[in-house]
Amino acid sequence: MEKTTQMYEGKAKKVFATDNPDYCIVSYKDDATAFNGLKKGTILGKGAINNRVTNHLMRLLEKNGVPTHLVEELNDRETLVKKVSIVPLEVIVRNIAAGSLSKRLGLPEGVKMGSTVLEYCYKNDDLGDPMVNEYHILAMGWATKEELDLIASYSFKVNQVLSDYLKEANIELIDFKLEFGKTKDGQIVLADEISPDTCRFWDSTTHEKLDKDRFRRDLGGVEDAYQEIMRRLLGENV
């Protein structure tokens, strides 16, 4: 399939149309932003790492019964995906308190909660991705009840599969963000990415942060953390 026109450029990825209207090509960038675009920078090698880590984890999820948009990795930075209409939600899954939840509820980072927490945010940069609940989602027509139930059950499944898999690599899955899309035949599939940009990964032993918090909080060693995730999951460097 041939790349044609650029459809969209986001903060971390570009999306291109192809000569087949059912498929797109995603191209991962090294650009990094945080705090709704207020902080900007570059993380060298990030695009290639996020592309490969995302595809690796999506293949694992597919094997475990979670449908995804992934079709084929084309090269270092580019992947062929099914064209979907994105459900305008960020689905956040949390195992351990961190980030905005710690702030909101006054829980120190690292506190294990009694059970997994699911949150929804409305994907809208101008509004700063406000948190919403199931009633808002149904009332606004962003998803149907059936679609939302499926999104929630896939999200818990993703958490279980990834938490178990990452544990083997001595990585603790603290929290992460998912996005779902709808294919032209109405199937709900996991879309977007699963990477150190969208997950909190802590070393299980040292609790060292191996994710975008190193960039957000100016902790240094940003590139090394992304490389380390790549190495632990795919056993190689880029």
- Binder to ligand UDP among 71, 99, 134, 204 (CB under 6 A)? 99
Task: Report d(CA 18, CA 25) in Å as an integer.
Answer: 7
Q: Which is nearer to ligand UDP, 174 or 230 (CB)?
A: 174
Q: DSSP per residue over 105-156, as a string?
A: HTPPTTPEEEEEEEEEEE--GGGT--EE-HHHHHHHTSS-HHHHHHHHHHHH
CB 53 within 8 A of CB 233: yes
Q: Which is nearer to ligand UDP, 66 or 101 (CB)?
A: 101
| 46-63 helix and 145-168 helix, angle to the nearest 10 degrees | 110
Please tell me whether residue 67 binds ligand UDP under the rule CB under 6 A: no
Q: Which is nearer to ligand UDP, 78 or 90 (CB)?
A: 90
Q: Which stretch binds ligand UDP (CB under 6 A): 68-76, 79-87, 144-152, 171-179?
A: 171-179
Q: Which stretch binds ligand UDP (CB under 6 A): 80-88, 92-100, 110-118, 148-156?
A: 92-100
Please tell me whether residue 214 binds ligand UDP under the rule CB under 6 A: no
Q: Which stretch binds ligand UDP (CB under 6 A): 132-140, 157-165, 193-201, 225-233?
A: 193-201
Q: Which two tokens stand for residue 5?
A: 């026109």
- Binder to ligand UDP among 200, 209, 228, 230 (CB under 6 A)? 200
Q: Which two tokens stand for residue 83?
A: 């064209």
